[in-house]
Amino acid sequence: MSTPPRDIEIRDESIRLGQLLKLAGVADTGGEARELVQEGAVRVNGAVETRRGRQLRDGDVVDALGERLRVIV
């Protein structure tokens, strides 16, 4: 049984992956977010994502450091 995602509401239609990690408190800084992504520690919709600038939209699910986040517009 998987953990239900924590909804993260954004103001615009999309948000970059690095920004989402900071907004959700998974990463404290942009540098920390970059390291997580470069290390392959972040999944977007089940697939490893290595682009910190990946645009996320409504309904996308991000898994990082044991957290599951869902983008909500």
Architecture of domain 6-72: Roll (3.10)
Question: Within a 10 A sphere around the Cβ of 7, how many other Cβ atoms?
Answer: 10
The tens-digit pLDDT sequence of the chain (73 residues) is 467 999 999 999 999 999 999 999 999 999 999 999 999 999 999 999 999 999 999 999 999 999 999 999 9
Enumerate residues 6+ apart whose C-beta is below 8 A from 31. none
Contact in structure between 70 and 56 (CB atoms under 8 Å)? no
pTM of the entire predicted model: 0.94
Which helix (H) or strand (E) segment holds residue 47: the answer is strand 47-48
